[in-house]
Structure 1
C-alpha cells in the first residue's frame, strides 16, 4: 500500500490572535478523527497556524483504506432448507448477496448454525474520502464568533479566500466554505503578495518561509523570543517575556521583526505595574528591566514587516505609547488627590450582586469576619478591620477602571501614599491571593484574614441566593474561591474550623432565601474540593475517601490526615490492615451499631484474642498523645504494628461464638480496633 503526505490549508483574513492555536489544533484533531473513523493509516499529524491561515499536514498517509472481509448472516439453517431444497428465505438471502444458494457458507455460532456469506470489500481511495473528512473538520471548528462576507450566506470566523488540499503532488478535488481546493497559497501580505504554487505537500513550510511566512507556530514563537532577548542585550537590559503575551504577539505576525523603542523617563514616577499593563494590554510590547530589576524607559515591539526604514516604525510606536503612558500618569496623579478612605462611601452605589447588596455592604461583612479571623490567628484585629474597610476602594479609582488587572496592586500603592499601616496596605494586594493554582498565599496575618473573609462571604452569599455552581457554569468563580480558602488555611498552617467560619460569614448576611442548611451545603462543597487538592498533591482517590468519611471540618487537619494516610497506604502492612478493617466494618454493621468498645479481660479465652487485646491496649497508650498533637503519621506507624495480632486473631478466633457474652466481648475487641484507626481515617476505604 502506497503512502504520501497530505496538506490542507485554509486561507483567511486575519484571525483573532488568541484563537489561532485553538482553531489549528481543532482542525488537526478533526482531520485525525476523520482518518481514524475511515481506518486510514497515517503518520504524524501536525497543526500549523498564523494570522492568515490554518493548516494541517499528515505524514505517510495511506493511499487507500485496507481491504476488509465482510461477513453477512442469513436465515438459520433449519429455516433455509426443507426436504433438502432451499426455501424462499435462503433464495432471497442469496439474491441479496448476488450469488447462488450453493455459494453460501455455514456459520457456526453458540446459538446454532446459520447461512452466511463472506466477501472481500475493497478499501476506498483516500483521495475520495478526504473531501468529506476535511469539510466535516472545518465545520466542527470552535469558532468564537461567525461572520458573513460578500453576498454569500457562508459563515466563518473571518472571510475565507483560498483552500489548498494536496495529497503528495496531486490536488484533491474538494470544496469547503464555498472554495474549491487547489495548490495555490499566499505568502506575506506585503512582502510576497503574489500567488504561490505548491508543487508538493512537503514543500509547505519551506515555500512559505521563502515567501516571508513562518507557518510553524512553535518556530515563530521561538523566533520572537530569540529576537526579543537579543534586542534586549543590545539595549543592556533584561526583557520580561510573559508567555501569554508571547502567544498573543505570535498570533499577530507572520514574519516577526523585533524593534526597540523608548519613552520619557518622567513616566517612571508612575508605579511600574501601571506602565507595564499599558504596554502589554494596549500595545503588546515587552518591557525591559535594568540589572537591579527596575523598569527601564524602553520596550521591544514585534513588527510584522522587515522595514527598510525601521527607525520610522520605532518612532511610530513611540508616538503611540506616549499618550497611553500619559493617561496612566494622569490617572495616578488624579487618584492620589483623594485618599482611599474617602472612597468608602462611594462603594454603597456599586452593586456587588443584586440580591447581596453593594460593595459597601460586602466590605462591612468582610470587616466583621476578618476581625474575628485575625483574633484567632494572632493577627491584629484593628488592622484586619481597617483593611476590609479599604479593600474594595481601589475598584472605583480611575486607574483600576482603566486597568482592572491592577485591582489590589493600586490599593497597596494608594494606601501607602495615604500613610496607612504597612501591613494594611500589603493586605489590600494580598486579598486576591492565591489567584491561580500554584500561586502564593498572603504572607501577612492581615492579608490572610482579609483573603479568607472575602471568599467566605462570597461563597455563603452566592449559595444563599441559590446560585450554586454547576458543571459548566461558575460565574462567581466559587470553585477557585473554595480552593483558595483551603490553600490559605493549609499553607498558612491556620488551624481554623471551617464550619465555625462559615456560620459567622453566613450570619453577616441580612437575608438569604436559602439559609436553611446553607452552612452544611457550603462546607460539603468546599471539602469536596479536597479531591482536586489531593490529586494535585499526588494523593489517590481512595486516600481522599478514607479521610472524607470522617467528620473533619478543619482543612489543615484534613490535609495532615491525607498526607499521613497516603504515606501509610504505601506500607507493606497497609493492604492487610485495610482488608481487616473492611471485614471488621462489615461484621459490626450487621450488629446494628450496638457494640461497645469496652473489653472484659475476664472473657478473653483464646491466645490470639488475648494477644490482640494486649496489643490494642499498648497501641492506645502510645497513640493517644500523638492524636492529641495531630501527629497522624507517627500514630499510623504505631498502628501498623497491629498487622500480626490482627491476622492471627482472624485465623484462630471465631468471632460469632455460641456464648453470647464471649461473642459480645469479641465484637467489642473489633470495635476498639476500628475506633483506633478511625481516629485518623476509615482505612477500610484503602482496599481496592
Structure 2
C-alpha cells in the first residue's frame, strides 16, 4: 500500500516546541486521513531544528464508495421540516427522496446518499492547507505581506504519496504561496544544497548524506554516548541532565561533541551554581571527578558543525563566555557570604507573598510559630526548628537566588553552614520545600520535618482562608502538591499527627479574619482525604 511523506522546512524552530509540534502534525494528519475514509497502518513524526516530518505507512489508494440511508420527516410534515431534511441530505427537491412505510408511524421520507470513492492523493491535497493554516503553535509569526502564520518563516513543503514499487506522486497543494513538491535541503552549513526525495527511506538516507540526523532520539543517543566517551577519556564522569539533553538535541541537526575547561579557582563556588551557570548560559554539560564526587573544571559542549580546526575556535568562544558567567557567579557567592542570613530578614518585609496574605516577612513569623508547635510532635528541638524556620526564606533576597531562583533553599543551606549554623538548621532550610513532586525525596531529619510541614500547612490554610482553592485542572499555587507533601512526610516518617488541630493553629495565625474556622478545617481535611486516596491509588 502507498506511503505518505510530509516535510515542512523552515527557519529554526525553538527546541522546546519541536517534539510537541511533531506529535501535533502526526495527530492532525492521521485524524484527517481516518475522517476521509483512509485508514492507515502506522505513522511516525520527526523534528529537527529546521523541519517537521511525518511518515504515514499503509494508506489506501482511495476511499471506498459509501451508501447511506437518512430517515426524514413523515409524509405531510410541515414545509420547514421538509426543507431542513432536504438541506441536510443535500437533495434539491423532495422528489429525489424515496418514501418508506412504518406500520406504526406511517409513511416517511428517506434520502439515499451515495458518495463515490475518491483518490487518496486528492483527499490529502484537500485537507492539508487547513491543517497547516490552523496548526497549534504556542507562538507563531507572520512575515512579509503573507497573511498566514507559522512558528518561523516557512521555506518549502515536501508531500509525496505512492507505493514502494513505483515512483511516488507529489501531493499538490499550496500554503501561504508555497507550492508543495519533492525538494528539500540539508544542513544549513555543511550541506545546504537542494535535493529531491521520493519516499521515507530515500528521504532519511539522503538527509543523513546531507549531514542531518532526522530522529531526535537518535541525536540524543549520539550526544549522550559521545559525551560519556569524552568524559571517560579525561578520567571523568558526565553529569547527566535529561532536560538539557532534550534541549540540545533540538538545537543541532548534526551533533558534534567537544570539551572545554575553565579556571580551577571557580571550583570554590558550590557545584550546583557552576552547573546551573554553564547549563543556562551555554547549554553545556558539566563533568565530575569520580574519586571525589565534586565537579571538575571541564565541560562538554555540543556543536552543530564539523569545524576545520577540530572545534578549537568554538571551544575557545564557549570558554570565554563561561569564564565571564562564572566570574559573575563567584561575585554573587562572595557578596552573599559577607552578610549573615539573618541580615536579610528585614528585606523580606517588603517582598509581597500575596496581596491578601501579607509579606514574606509576615509569613516567616507564622512559620516560626507553627514550627515551634510542630517540633515536639515530631521529636525535633523547638529552638532549632524555630531558627530554621526564621532563616528558611532568607536566601530569597540573596544575589545568587535572584540570578538563579532554582537554587532557593539550597543556597540557604550553603550560607547557613558557612556562617556556623547547626547542621540540622542548615539542612532544614534546603529541605523545607520538599517534596516538590511524587519522585522527590521526603525530609527525614526532625527539624526539617517540622519546618517542611509548617511551610505546607501555612500555605494551605492561607489560601483556604481567602478562598483560593484549586478548581478543576487549575492549581496556580500548587496546593495539591503541598497537601500530598504533607501526606508523604507523615506516612514515610511513620508519624501520627492530629491534623485538624494543626490546621486550626495555622489558620488562626493567618493575616485575614476567618469567619468560620470549623468549616475551613472540615473542608481542608476533606481535601487531604481526597489527596490521600489519589496517593494510595498511585
TM-score normalised by length of structure 2: 0.91
| 1:176 CA drift (Å) | 2.5
Matches within 5 A, 1:4-23: 4-23=2-21
| Structure 2 residues not aligned, in runs of 5+ | 76-81, 163-167
1:322–1:75 CA distance, 2 compared to 1 (3 A): closer
Once the two structures are superposed, what CA deviation does each residue of 1:84-122 show, in whole Å capped at 9, x if it has no partner?
xxxx99xx99xx989999996967788567675757532
Once the two structures are superposed, what CA deviation does each residue of 1:389-412 show, in whole Å capped at 9, x if it has no partner?
000001111011111111111101
Once the two structures are superposed, what CA deviation does each residue of 1:352-383 show, in whole Å capped at 9, x if it has no partner?
11211111101000011111111111111111
| Structure 1 residues not aligned, in runs of 5+ | 82-87, 537-688
1:291–1:56 CA distance, 2 compared to 1 (3 A): same
Q: How far apart, CA to CA, are the structure 1 residues paired with 2:318 and 2:236?
A: 19
In the other structure, the counterpart of 2:117 is: 123
Tell me whether 462-471 or 307-316 shows the greater mean CA deviation: 462-471
| 1:318 CA drift (Å) | 1.0
Q: How far apart, CA to CA, are the structure 1 residues paired with 2:233 and 2:535?
A: 45
In the other structure, the counterpart of 2:334 is: 333
Matches within 5 A, 1:417-496: 417-496=418-497
In the other structure, the counterpart of 2:203 is: 204
In the other structure, the counterpart of 1:61 is: 59
Q: How far apart, CA to CA, are the structure 2 residues paired with 1:318 and 1:110?
A: 87
| 1:304 CA drift (Å) | 0.6
Q: How far apart, CA to CA, are the structure 1 residues paired with 2:380 and 2:96?
A: 94
| 1:240 CA drift (Å) | 1.7
Q: How far apart, CA to CA, are the structure 2 residues paired with 1:474 and 1:75?
A: 50
In the other structure, the counterpart of 2:500 is: 499
Once the two structures are superposed, what CA deviation does each residue of 1:263-307 show, in whole Å capped at 9, x if it has no partner?
111111111010011111111111111123221110111101111
Q: How far apart, CA to CA, are the structure 2 residues paired with 1:330 and 1:212?
A: 42
Q: How far apart, CA to CA, are the structure 1 residues paired with 2:103 and 2:109?
A: 11
Q: How far apart, CA to CA, are the structure 1 residues paired with 2:104 and 2:533?
A: 46
SS in 2 for 1:147: coil
In the other structure, the counterpart of 1:219 is: 218
SS in 1 for 2:376: helix
Matches within 5 A, 1:156-235: 156-168=150-162, 169-235=168-234
In the other structure, the counterpart of 1:644 is: none
SS in 2 for 1:151: coil
Contact 2:237 2:289 in 1 (8 A): yes
Q: How far apart, CA to CA, are the structure 1 residues paired with 2:152 and 2:536?
A: 43
Contact 1:384 1:446 in 2 (8 A): yes
Question: 1 or 2, which has the higher helix percentage?
Answer: 1
- Alignment root-mean-square deviation, CA: 2.7
Q: How far apart, CA to CA, are the structure 1 residues paired with 2:148 and 2:96?
A: 55
Tell me whether 142-151 or 323-332 shows the greater mean CA deviation: 142-151
Q: How far apart, CA to CA, are the structure 2 residues paired with 1:478 and 1:523?
A: 13
Matches within 5 A, 1:476-555: 476-512=477-513, 517-536=519-538
Q: State the structure with bigger RCO (CA 8 A, min sep 6), 1 or 2.
A: 2
Contact 2:378 2:449 in 1 (8 A): no
Q: Which has the larger radius of gyration?
A: 1
TM-score normalised by length of structure 1: 0.72
Q: How far apart, CA to CA, are the structure 2 residues paired with 1:357 and 1:316?
A: 47
Q: How far apart, CA to CA, are the structure 1 residues paired with 2:347 and 2:443?
A: 27
Q: How far apart, CA to CA, are the structure 2 residues paired with 1:216 and 1:510?
A: 54
SS in 2 for 1:155: coil
| 1:34 CA drift (Å) | 1.0
1:119–1:375 CA distance, 2 compared to 1 (3 A): closer
1:460–1:75 CA distance, 2 compared to 1 (3 A): closer
Corresponding residue pairs, total: 522
